[in-house]
């Protein structure tokens, strides 16, 4: 099976410059549907599913390769190579933002810019660093996922989305979580919440936009400020949007911030 089939890659748009969109934990490429139309007229759009998510080839899931985020970053580079892409504008949500930084560090000339939507290099508090959770809280979160994937999904989705007056958003995220194979979800969650990528930030010099929501239980404002301080060629934009998924809850504001940066 080709890389493009493995990752369920789709291409659309008319521009000569490429924008590649990477979804976060428990999601798939459909999560970008409110953002992509604003760029398809002027950019070539690349959408894909991480292996184990969406309509990717589940048979290609390798628990050794995907035990760490580097495995997913390698897939990003493989997709770019297969499509002969150059000067990519990479848009990554949540954990995929860190995958983009890892890919850019490995192949710095490949990326024209990085757009990080609700990123976090580490979710665990460490001294002066505020990641949002203690190690005990992360362990409890992962144990809950291990014990009851469905219950975890129904509990966490509303907290992550954080738009209580818009139940349809939480329902969509819950359904997306529930569609993920539980075994793969457990391993991806560990790769997401236990990885500490802070040291890689200073090694990436690609122009970067950090989109931080004003209130986000998963990636608090201190995280965005930390990333901005560590990356020497970055811009930090604090959105009025709340929650961890502004591309779903506040697409117009997200689009506007991206266009201003580009």
pLDDT at 151 over 80: yes
Tell me which residue of 31, 46, 29, 106 sits closest to 73, measured CA to CA. 106
pLDDT at 176 over 90: no
Report residue 244 CA to chain centroid gap. Answer: 10
In the annotation, is 216 catalytic? yes
pLDDT band at 157 (very low <50, low <70, confident <90, very high): confident
Q: Is the pTM of this model over 0.85?
A: yes
pLDDT at 81 over 90: yes
Q: Tell how strand 10-13 and strand 43-47 pair up.
A: antiparallel
- What CA–CA distance (Å, rounded) separates 106 from 159? 34
In the annotation, is 118 catalytic? no
pLDDT band at 118 (very low <50, low <70, confident <90, very high): very high
Q: What is the pLDDT of residue 127?
A: 96
**Count of residues making up the chain:** 262
Write down the catalytic residue from 94, 96, 118, 120. Answer: 94
Q: What is the pLDDT of residue 38?
A: 97
In the annotation, is 93 catalytic? no
Q: Which CATH superfamily groups domain 3-261?
A: Alpha/Beta hydrolase fold, catalytic domain (3.40.50.1820)
Q: What is the pLDDT of residue 34?
A: 96
Write down the catalytic residue from 23, 93, 149, 244. Answer: 244
Residue 33: what are its φ and ψ, rounded to 5°? -65, -25
- What CA–CA distance (Å, rounded) separates 38 from 41? 7
Write down the catalytic residue from 49, 216, 247, 249. Answer: 216
- What CA–CA distance (Å, rounded) separates 211 from 116? 6
Which position has the token pair 């790769």?
A: 191
- What CA–CA distance (Å, rounded) separates 112 from 206? 7
pLDDT in tens, 12-44: 998 999 999 999 998 899 999 999 999 999 999
């Amino acid at each position: 099976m080709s890389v493009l089939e493995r990752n369920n890659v789709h291409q659309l748009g008319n521009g000569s410059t490429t924008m590649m969109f990477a979804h976060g934990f428990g999601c798939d490429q459909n999560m970008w549907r409110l953002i992509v139309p604003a760029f398809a007229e002027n950019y070539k759009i690349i959408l894909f599913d991480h292996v184990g998510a969406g309509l990717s080839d589940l048979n290609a899931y390798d628990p050794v390769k995907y035990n760490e985020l580097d495995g997913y970053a390698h897939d990003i580079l493989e997709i770019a190579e297969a499509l002969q892409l150059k000067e990519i504008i990479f848009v990554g949500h949540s954990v995929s933002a860190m995958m983009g930084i890892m890919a850019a560090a490995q192949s710095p000339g490949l990326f024209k810019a990085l757009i990080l939507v609700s990123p976090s290099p580490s979710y665990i508090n460490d001294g002066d660093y505020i990641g949002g959770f203690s190690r005990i809280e992360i362990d409890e979160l992962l144990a809950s996922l291990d014990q009851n994937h469905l219950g975890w999904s129904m509990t966490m989705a509303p907290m992550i989305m954080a738009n209580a007056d818009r139940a349809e958003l939480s329902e969509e995220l819950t359904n997306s979580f529930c569609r993920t194979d539980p075994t793969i979800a457990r391993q991806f969650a560990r790769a997401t919440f236990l990885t500490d990528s802070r040291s890689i930030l200073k090694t990436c010099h690609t122009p970067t936009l950090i989109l931080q929501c004003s209130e986000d239980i998963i990636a608090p404002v201190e995280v965005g400020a930390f990333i901005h301080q560590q990356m020497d060629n970055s811009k930090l934009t604090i959105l009025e949007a709340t929650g961890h998924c502004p591309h779903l809850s506040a697409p117009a504001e997200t689009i506007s911030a991206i266009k201003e940066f580009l």
